[in-house]
Structure formats: structure tokens, C-alpha cells
Amino acid sequence: MTQPLLLDVRGLDGGYEPLQIFRKIDLQLAQGGAVGLFGPNGHGKTTFLRTLSGIIDPWDGNIFFEGVQLNRPGPRGSRRWRNFNYDAVTRRRMDAKAVARAGLIHVPQGNLLFPDMTVAETLSIAPYASSGRASASERLDYVFHLFPRVKERRTSKIRFLSGGERQMVAIGVGLMAAPKLLILDEPTLGLSPKLRGELSEAILTIRQSGVPLIVVDQDIAFLESLIDVLYLFDHGRISRRIEKADMPTHEEIMKLMFGEDHQ
């Protein structure tokens, strides 16, 4: 092996105790690559991404980022110990802060950010995660260049922004953190077609500048323009891995997922 994979997820189990949401997830991402996750709502994509970024603990399996293991190895403790106070008795198996500082940046779905802080203040917090990987002012110029709208609204409080502007700020915050891998969870969810187009274009620019991505979206055409590999997510498992070369159309995907024609 010459170069370690950027992200290597092996046999990951997880969920919200006592409910297991996803099982045995394997996902590989090469340096400089981009993958898409596609699947119906409520099948565990977001939970999987929350586990990946350390918000909730994985139950079993391993996560390697640039060859470094992010989680504590081995399955979690026995059931007897889990009945006691998790935060007092059990050590966390993953640390969101460490994940972010390693460069794995997660822009969550429907991010509400900090309602009572201004856009500029919000952007000024992000460099916590970049831990000296990039100069903050350069990143800020880049974000303002990419989203001129964010620059216009930089003195407004987040709660006065529209949904689209908020999403732009959220992605901008992710970029401020100088990501080695950027996770975007449904970045265009609930936006008007016009805004969706604007945002998709910006994400494409980000991708072309060489930032590796994991993108969840329901729009196959948008994903196809962005990624090398598509993973189909189904009932908490990855049901299929599709290379870009044989990317299916929307109708074929529907057929794959639901087993019938949806014309």
C-alpha cells in the first residue's frame, strides 16, 4: 500500500441506545476523492454521519482517517455497564472535537448554527477546528468570493437569514475550518430551485478546488456531477457501491431501491 486511504470505515455499527440504526457499514474514500450517499429518508444516513463525526459513539467497527484511528478500538462495553450512567462510568469512544481538528468537517443537515450571533462572529469561530492548517483571513476571502451573499450579510444575526443564506453560512463555516474532508448532509434540502442551483454550483466549485467530499443528496444528477463513487444506503446498510462509469439514471435508482417502475 502506497498511500493510506483518506477515510476508511470498516464494519461500523451504531445508533441510539437501545435502537441500532445502521450496521456493518464499509466505506472507502481515496485521497482527493468524493463519494455520494443516496437513499430514502429515515434509513440512517444522518445517524451514520453523526457517528462518523463523533457526535454519537459507534457501537463497533473502526474509522481510520488518513491512516489514524479516530475511535477507541474494539466493541463497546458489556451490557451490564451500559445500564449505568454512560457519561460517568463509560469513556466516550469518540471525540467530536478531535475529529474536527483532524480535518474531518461535518456540515449537518438543516444546520441552525448560532441564532443570536452575527455571520462574521460565526465564521470567526470556525478556525478552532482548522488548528493552524490555514490562515483565517485567506479562508474568509475565499468564502466571501464563493458566496458574495454571505459577505453582504456579514453583520446580520443568523436568525434573520433566509434558509438558503443560512446554508451558505453553514458551508462557509465548514470551509473556514480548512477541511481535509468535507461532509455535506443534504446541502440543498428545502431550498427553492433557483437557490438550489446557486448552491450546487458553489459546491461544484469547492469540489473542483480539490476538497474531498461526502455528500448526501436526493438529486442523482447533482451527485453525478460531483462524485466518483455512489453508495446506496438502504435500511441501515450499504446495499450497493456504484462507480461513476456505470452511474444509473434516476429511474434505474428507483427501480434498484424499490424494485418496480416508478414512471
**Which residue, 1 or 88, has its beta carbon nearer to other proteins?**
88
**Which residue, 41 or 85, has its beta carbon nearer to other proteins?**
85
**Which residue, 121 or 228, has its beta carbon nearer to other proteins?**
121
Minimal distance in Å, beta carbon 245 to other proteins?
A: 34
**Which residue, 1 or 19, has its beta carbon nearer to other proteins?**
19
Contact 40, 256 (CB under 8 A): no
Rounded to an integer, what is the distance from CA 178 to the centroid of its chain?
Answer: 14
Minimal distance in Å, beta carbon 151 to other proteins?
A: 19
Minimal distance in Å, beta carbon 247 to other proteins?
A: 30
Minimal distance in Å, beta carbon 250 to other proteins?
A: 31
Contact 28, 3 (CB under 8 A): no
Contact set with other proteins (CB under 8 A)? 53-55, 85-88, 96-97, 100-101, 105-108, 111-117, 121-122, 124-126, 128-131, 159, 173, 177
